[in-house]
Amino acid sequence: MTSVADAVQAMKAKFNPAAAAGLDLVFGFRIDDTKNFSLVVKDGTCELQEGENPDAQVTLVMDGETLQGIVDGSTDGMQAFMGGKLRAEGDMMMAMKLSELFPS
């Protein structure tokens, strides 16, 4: 993967619509403190949006390398969190849902 955008697209490709049935969630991502995007999960669909979303229930803050590692499976999200490479702002329980919605 060459960029954050590629990593985000790869993540979206792993989306599990069955796990999102009946959900209405917004996940925010802040990468390298300069790139913001959000994933809007609603009733089995997933939409990727550029920029910050004020409706995000949780925002995950990390660097591009961590994001790419989590998406390609070489980095465990929980280990990244425990190691301080990933920070969650907002509803922590929502952050846990990501592994169900985007299985590796």
- Round to whole Å and give the CA distance between 72 and 14: 10
pTM above 0.75, yes or no: yes
Q: Which residue has the higher pLDDT, 104 or 68?
A: 68
* Strand 24-31, strand 58-62: pairing: parallel
**What confidence score (pLDDT) does residue 96 get?**
87
pLDDT at 78 over 70: yes
Give the pLDDT mean for 82-96: 94
Minimum mean pLDDT range among 30-34, 54-58, 86-90, 96-100: 96-100
Q: Work out the pLDDT band at 1, boundaries 50, 70, 90.
A: very low
Looking at the chain, the number of H-run helices and the number of E-run strands are 4, 5
